[in-house]
Amino acid sequence: MFKIVGHLALVIVLTLLSQLGGIAWLVAQLFRRKLAAFLILYAGLSLAVIWVAPLSGRVALNCWERGPLQMHSWFYCALNRNYVTPELAVLLQDTAAAVDQAYPGTVTQVLDASFPFLTGFPLLPHLSHHDGRKADLAFYYADAGKYEPGATRSPFGYFAFEPGPSDCPGTWLTLRWDLALLQPLWRGLEVDAPRTRNLLRVLAADSRAGKIFLEPHLQDRLGLHSAKIRFQGCRAARHDDHIHLQL
């Protein structure tokens, strides 16, 4: 009984993390070497959905691309969190190209996007990445004033918060984690203001872009004022470590 419960728990966790992992683990139970079978099955499924997902209206952002638009980490690709609608894929490519034209050599990095299938399927811990129409972008960073292509303060691009005032009251009913113990561990880089400002202006001027979430103190710091660039609210995760974009 405990073994069955353990397998079910693992299926749930793998499904929530990668959407396909639970299926791979269930099928792997038919084989003697379950772990090896799981890894092979999961890799096979993840490769197959690159060609299958477009049938459901989503495409994979290229995990090997070395151009102006790149996935930030293999982690997001390995967990199938790099899928978007074709319209969002083109918007991201056009935006990255525009920033690279203004600042040659700039790399625009995508963090979490969506899973390949099923509108409404949650992409935890996000509240809204469930339809392929949203993606998170990493900030551009500089070291002592020099732009560092592809660099982020934290390994996965999240949770390295920029200091600034907040009007949100302290409450446990929130996703606005401070993660204060982690902050001293991150790299001592500063947000590259000119590139980040240019990125946001390009997005705000594009009719395909809808909401862009960024903390108010960063909007003020960058001198940005647009109806599209807004505060996400006190119940959602902080957005002074990344930019949220949606169609």
Give tens-digit pLDDT for 56-113. Answer: 999 999 998 889 999 999 999 999 999 999 999 999 999 999 999 999 999 999 999 9
pLDDT at residue 215, rounded to an integer: 94
Q: Which residues constitute the domain of residue 42? A: 1-56
pLDDT at 161 over 90: yes
> pLDDT tier at 165 (50, 70, 90 boundaries)?
confident
pTM above 0.85, yes or no: yes
The domain boundary, picked from 15, 39, 56, lies at 56
Is the domain of 23 the same as that of 131? Answer: no
Is the domain of 92 the same as that of 168? Answer: yes
pLDDT at residue 5, rounded to an integer: 83
SS3 224: coil
Dump strand ranges (E) for the chain: 59-60, 69-71, 83-84, 108-110, 134-138, 141-143, 146-147, 190-191, 212-213, 229-230, 242-246
Is the domain of 74 the same as that of 144? Answer: yes
Is the domain of 192 the same as that of 163? Answer: yes
pLDDT at residue 126, rounded to an integer: 87
The domain boundary, picked from 31, 56, 81, lies at 56
Is the domain of 154 the same as that of 83? Answer: yes
Question: Which tokens is 243 given?
Answer: 């930019």
Where are the alpha helices (H) located in 53-115, listed in sequence order?
74-78, 86-102
Is the domain of 43 the same as that of 69? Answer: no
Average pLDDT over residues 159-182: 80
Is the domain of 163 the same as that of 235? Answer: yes
Is the domain of 5 the same as that of 78? Answer: no
Is the domain of 15 the same as that of 118? Answer: no
Is the domain of 48 the same as that of 149? Answer: no
pLDDT at residue 9, rounded to an integer: 92
Taking Cα atoms as reference points, which of 149, 132, 144, 245 lies closest to residue 199? 245
Is the domain of 67 the same as that of 158? Answer: yes
pLDDT at residue 169, rounded to an integer: 73
Residue at token pair 């647009």: 226
> pLDDT tier at 172 (50, 70, 90 boundaries)?
low
pLDDT at residue 82, rounded to an integer: 97
pLDDT at residue 170, rounded to an integer: 66
Name which residue leads in pLDDT, 178 or 149: 149
What domain count does the chain have?
2
Phi and psi torsions of 206, nearest 5°: -90, 125
Is the domain of 66 the same as that of 123? Answer: yes
d(CA 245, CA 168) in angstroms, rounded, equals: 22
